[in-house]
């Protein structure tokens, strides 16, 4: 296990640097905009780009304190959704917390991997945030502790959605807990649904998107009835998370053999069908063009989850109240199948300096119903507590003006219950990204399907030498 985890850490570091060099930053650096033609070599320029793109850690708290308790995350989420409310109840304990924001997800793993390999480092993490895409990298290792070692019991977890527990369970031991659940849905424009489908009611709209084939036919109807002006999605990759969440198997088996199951091959075919039928605007997910289409009549829907609703869809709607941009003109329906997207878990490290404090933080933030109500009311984050969600929905907290008054808490609740996790592996994030690259090549006509799959396997085996391909 140690050798494999080290190989994974090294491969992750190389891949992260590669991804960063491919334009993940939206703001050009001086190195990319002012290249010298005589005094700067390509190697020097590449080095400068990489160095400038690595952000400095943002540290909140007193790192010089003898009893400092280090919590690491790639952004401010854990601070805003966990520590903020923890310190209201436990102010003395909260004073010990040193919160380290590594400045973005691109370098998060690289930074904490180095620290986890060096428990003597004074900035060694006591607690780390773990994203769904790579959670097993840390839970299926000696880096993290079972939550039972922190005094957390099954009874404490009784109100959690089961999939969030399963995601952090390895060999029967739960090694991380999440304060949020992230079920997904299809988010569509009410006015466009009324215009082209004759209804904007979520239950009736669902009939037009109840399965993949019906969705495709509905997309063609919208395209034809709008004279080509309104496309079903902004880009073909808007459906990828739905397919990825429905995988049955991990990317490789117990014998370390890489496989591409039918679910992902079907995604390639569906993405190509969307492209060939002209049902998207040809954008890439997270691009400026993709985000801009949230406030344009050229895009009917997005596939999104709990956090996507607030911090992507609403944020790009072009307004802050009903009547501005597309604010208030959205609604949710289930779509062709249940799925999840992302999520953040907390894990205590093997060298955690204070297991009691780690347990207190995790129990408060993920098990305490009253605190989870506060988290939801404060940020509208969909919390991982069925009792809290039911109570908040009954109070009307979920009645969202952005969704035309639809209760997003009540609507997401049964979708969260239906989620079944695929088998995962620690390399999920990077392997899936590699598959997305090859899918795009196929969809855009740069490769045939067989070549794209073959190139995907070759790339992954080269990146992770302990794997072989079938």
pLDDT at residue number 64: 92
pLDDT at residue number 54: 85
Q: List the domains of the chain with CATH numbers.
A: 55-181+343-394 (3.40.190.10), 184-340+422-469 (3.40.190.10)
pLDDT at residue number 424: 87
Quick: pLDDT tens for 181-219. 999 999 999 999 999 999 999 999 999 999 999 999 999
- pLDDT (mean) for 218-230: 98
- 243 vs 7 pLDDT, higher one: 243
pTM of the model: 0.88
Mean of all residue pLDDT scores within the chain = 90
Strand partners, 169: 174
Token pair listed for 83: 């520590």
- Confidence tier at 106 by pLDDT (50, 70, 90): confident
Answer for the pair 188, 304: CB distance below 8 angstroms, yes or no: no
Q: Map residue 381 onto helix, strand or coil.
A: coil
Answer for the pair 8, 464: CB distance below 8 angstroms, yes or no: yes
pLDDT at residue number 33: 27
User: What stretches of 111-203 adopt beta strand conformation (E)?
Assistant: 127-131, 169-170, 173-174, 184-189
Quick: pLDDT tens for 384-442. 999 999 999 999 999 999 999 999 999 999 999 999 998 888 899 899 999 999 999 99
**Separation in Å, CA 9 to CA 29, 171, 278, 295:** 27, 22, 40, 40
For the ranges 105-109, 160-164, 351-355, 380-384, the lowest mean pLDDT is seen at: 105-109
Token pair listed for 58: 């943002």
- 27 vs 415 pLDDT, higher one: 415
- pLDDT of 41 over the 90 cut: no
Quick: pLDDT tens for 356-365. 999 999 999 9
- pLDDT of 51 over the 70 cut: no
Strand partners, 326: none
Answer for the pair 222, 297: CB distance below 8 angstroms, yes or no: no
Question: Percentages helix, strand, coil for the chain, rounded to the nearest 5?
Answer: 50, 15, 40
- CA–CA separation, 238 and 276 (whole Å): 15
- Confidence tier at 52 by pLDDT (50, 70, 90): low
Nearest to 379 by CA among 84, 71, 74: 84
Burial class (CB in 10 A: 0-12, 13-18, 19+), 276: exposed
Answer for the pair 305, 415: CB distance below 8 angstroms, yes or no: no
């Amino acid at each position: 296990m140690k050798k494999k985890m080290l190989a994974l850490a090294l491969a992750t570091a190389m891949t992260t640097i590669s991804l960063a060099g491919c334009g993940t930053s939206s703001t050009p650096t001086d190195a990319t905009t002012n290249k010298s033609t005589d005094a700067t070599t390509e190697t020097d320029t590449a080095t400068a780009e990489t160095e400038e793109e690595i952000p400095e850690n943002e540290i909140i708290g007193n790192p010089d304190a003898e009893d400092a308790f280090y919590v690491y995350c790639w952004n401010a989420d854990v601070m805003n959704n966990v520590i903020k409310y923890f310190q209201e109840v436990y102010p003395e304990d909260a004073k010990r917390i040193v919160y380290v924001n590594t400045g973005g997800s691109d370098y998060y793993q690289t930074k904490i991997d180095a620290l986890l390999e060096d428990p003597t480092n004074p900035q060694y993490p006591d607690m780390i945030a773990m994203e769904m895409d790579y959670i097993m990298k840390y839970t299926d290792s000696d880096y993290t502790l079972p939550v039972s070692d922190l005094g957390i019991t099954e009874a404490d977890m009784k109100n959690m959605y089961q999939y969030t527990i399963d995601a952090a369970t390895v060999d029967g031991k739960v090694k991380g807990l999440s304060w949020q659940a992230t079920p997904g849905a299809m988010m569509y424009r009410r006015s466009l649904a009324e215009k082209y489908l004759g209804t904007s009611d979520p239950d009736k709209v669902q009939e037009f998107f109840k399965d993949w084939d019906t969705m495709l036919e509905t997309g063609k109807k919208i395209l034809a009835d709008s004279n080509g002006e309104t496309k079903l999605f902004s880009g073909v990759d808007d459906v990828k998370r739905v397919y990825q969440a429905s995988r049955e198997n991990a990317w490789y088996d117990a014998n370390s053999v890489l496989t591409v199951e039918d679910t992902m091959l079907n995604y390639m075919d569906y993405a190509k069908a969307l492209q060939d039928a002209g049902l998207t605007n040809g954008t890439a997910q997270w691009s400026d063009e993709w985000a801009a289409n949230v406030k344009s009549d050229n895009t009917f829907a997005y596939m999104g989850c709990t956090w996507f609703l607030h911090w992507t869809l609403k944020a790009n709607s072009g307004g802050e109240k009903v009547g501005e941009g597309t604010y208030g003109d959205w609604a949710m329906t289930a779509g062709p199948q249940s799925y999840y997207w992302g999520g953040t878990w907390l894990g205590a490290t093997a060298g955690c300096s204070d297991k009691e404090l780690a347990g207190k933080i995790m129990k408060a933030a993920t098990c305490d119903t009253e605190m989870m109500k506060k988290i939801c009311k404060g940020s509208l984050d969909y919390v991982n507590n069925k009792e809290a969600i039911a109570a908040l929905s009954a109070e009307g907290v979920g009645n969202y003006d952005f969704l035309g008054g639809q209760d997003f808490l009540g609507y997401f609740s049964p979708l969260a219950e239906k989620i079944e996790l695929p088998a995962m592996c620690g390399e999920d994030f990077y392997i899936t990204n590699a598959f997305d690259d090859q899918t795009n090549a196929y969809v855009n006509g740069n490769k045939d399907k067989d070549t794209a799959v073959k190139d995907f396997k070759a790339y992954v085996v080269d990146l992770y030498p302990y794997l072989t391909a079938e």
